[in-house]
Amino acid sequence: MLLDPDEVQCPIREMLARAGGRWTLDVVVALDKGARHFGDLVRTIPGVSRRMLVVTLRGMERDGLIARSGESSTGERVYYELTSLGVDLGEHFRALSRWSQRNRDEIYAARERFDATARTAGSC
């Protein structure tokens, strides 16, 4: 057994939700090379709104994945950087990326088989 049922509860479930959040991967990638200010993150991450970036950054800061420094009154002088936990999460993201690249063809083939079966099963 991979995990005990009690272990699947907090904090594992919460951290998986954070790691799987819509913008977390983008923030980790953007901060991988070092600290960046808020405005730079907005420009670097395509499609993220300022509001969603604030929500994501706050959650990541709360979970200890990033650290914030600088003045918060203007917003533009606030810098964010990965903590050791955030760097570690980035390493797991890279491992997952390598896994998905290695298994891409098998995943696509499984999807095609499933979709073909679902189409056949759904027709009268």
d(CA 21, CA 13) in angstroms, rounded, equals: 12
* pLDDT per position as a tens digit, 19-43: 878 899 999 999 999 999 999 999 9
Give the domains, in start order, of the chain with CATH numbers: 5-122 (1.10.10.10)
Q: How confident is the model at residue 12 (pLDDT cuts 50, 70, 90)?
A: confident
* pLDDT per position as a tens digit, 40-77: 999 999 999 999 999 999 999 999 999 999 876 665 58
Output the pTM of the full model: 0.76
Q: How confident is the model at residue 4 (pLDDT cuts 50, 70, 90)?
A: low
